[in-house]
Each structure stands twice: as structure tokens, then as C-alpha cells.
């Protein structure tokens, strides 16, 4: 494989590993927020109108920023009735063939996310709730997470092509 592809795979994998491992801690932030909401409501009788929405934003950030890392470590759910029995080269061929669908899907998501984020930033879009938070920050995070998944999907595609050629990209 060309040196540029090897560098691409190495840097994308390293970056997504760091972002994914950092995103893992967002679950604890969300749990802390939900605990704080519960204590504030039951002990102090002061319910928070922003708590549930903020927990949803944190959870969306968690799974979108961690999605590329999850792809990298092959932690996504897979129906492997046949897949687990195949040889590594046959798996790589199946992954190369399905990668086009995945990349197309992620490109469509990225374009939609970009335009949605642009709208939220330009027009100061807010959520329709009593708290009415601005939606631009979460849309930026979501679009960035989709971009990371697209970059990781390309990295995985290159690794699968290398496997088909009998090479490794690590």
C-alpha cells in the first residue's frame, strides 16, 4: 500500500482512539447529572428543567464521538451467522463490498449534518422546551462525530483492501 494510505490509517486510528477513549467518560458525566437531578428533586424539592435535555445531549455526544472508536475496535453489533466462520480474506472481501454502502450513508449524514449545523449557527436555533438551549453546540458535535466515523470507515476500507492483497496496515 502507498505510504500516504499507511500514514492516513495510522493517524486516523490514533486520533479516533484518543477521542473515543475521552468520550467514554461522558457516561460518568451523564450519570452524575442524573444523580444530581434525582437528589435535587427528591431531597431539596427543586426540579431542574434543563437536566433531562442536558443528559440527552451528553448521551448523543457519547455515542457519536465514540462511534468511530467502536468501529475501530470492531465493537458494533454484527449478525455473524456466516461471517464468523469465514476466513480473514473472505471477511475482508465482504467488508470491502459493504463499505461502499456505509461510506455513502455517512457522506449523506455528513452533508445533512453540515447544513443543519449551518442553519443552527446562522439563525441561532433553539430547542422548543422550557429551557430552550441553543442547538448549535450539539449539532457541531454530532457533525464532527459523523465526520470521524466517515474517516474511520475509509481507514477500515484501506485495511480490508490491504488484507485482500496479503498486506497489513499497522
Structure pTM?
0.90
pLDDT at 82: 85
CA distances from 59 to 53, 54, 55, 141 (A): 10, 9, 6, 11
List per-block mean pLDDT (blocks of 10 residues) for the chain, which spans 170 residues. Answer: 93 97 96 93 85 94 95 83 87 92 97 97 93 94 97 96 86
pLDDT at 56: 94
pLDDT at 49: 85
pLDDT at 170: 65
Assigned C-alpha cell, 37: 437531578
| C-alpha to C-alpha distance for 170 and 156, rounded to whole angstroms | 12
pLDDT at 146: 97
**Local structure of 170: helix, strand or coil:** coil
How many of the other CB atoms lie within 10 Å of CB of 126?
13
For the chain, the maximum distance between any two Cα atoms, rounded to a whole number of angstroms, is 64
| C-alpha to C-alpha distance for 91 and 114, rounded to whole angstroms | 33
Amino acid at each position: 500500500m502507498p505510504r500516504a494510505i499507511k500514514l492516513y490509517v495510522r493517524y486516523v486510528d490514533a486520533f479516533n482512539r484518543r477521542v473515543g477513549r475521552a468520550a467514554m467518560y461522558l457516561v460518568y458525566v451523564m450519570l452524575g447529572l442524573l444523580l444530581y437531578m434525582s437528589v435535587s428533586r427528591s431531597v431539596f424539592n427543586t426540579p431542574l428543567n434543563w437536566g433531562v435535555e442536558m443528559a440527552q445531549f451528553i448521551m448523543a455526544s457519547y455515542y457519536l464521538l465514540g462511534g468511530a472508536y467502536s468501529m475501530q475496535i470492531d465493537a458494533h453489533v454484527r449478525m455473524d451467522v456466516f461471517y464468523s466462520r469465514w476466513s480473514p480474506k473472505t471477511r475482508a472481501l465482504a467488508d470491502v463490498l459493504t463499505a461502499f454502502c456505509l461510506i455513502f450513508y455517512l457522506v449523506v449524514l455528513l452533508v445533512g449534518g453540515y447544513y443543519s449545523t449551518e442553519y443552527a449557527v446562522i439563525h441561532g436555533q433553539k430547542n422548543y422546551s422550557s429551557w430552550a438551549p441553543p442547538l448549535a453546540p450539539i449539532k457541531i458535535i454530532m457533525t464532527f462525530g459523523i465526520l470521524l466515523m466517515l474517516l474511520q470507515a475509509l481507514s477500515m476500507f484501506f485495511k480490508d483492501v490491504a488484507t485482500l492483497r496479503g498486506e497489513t496496515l499497522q
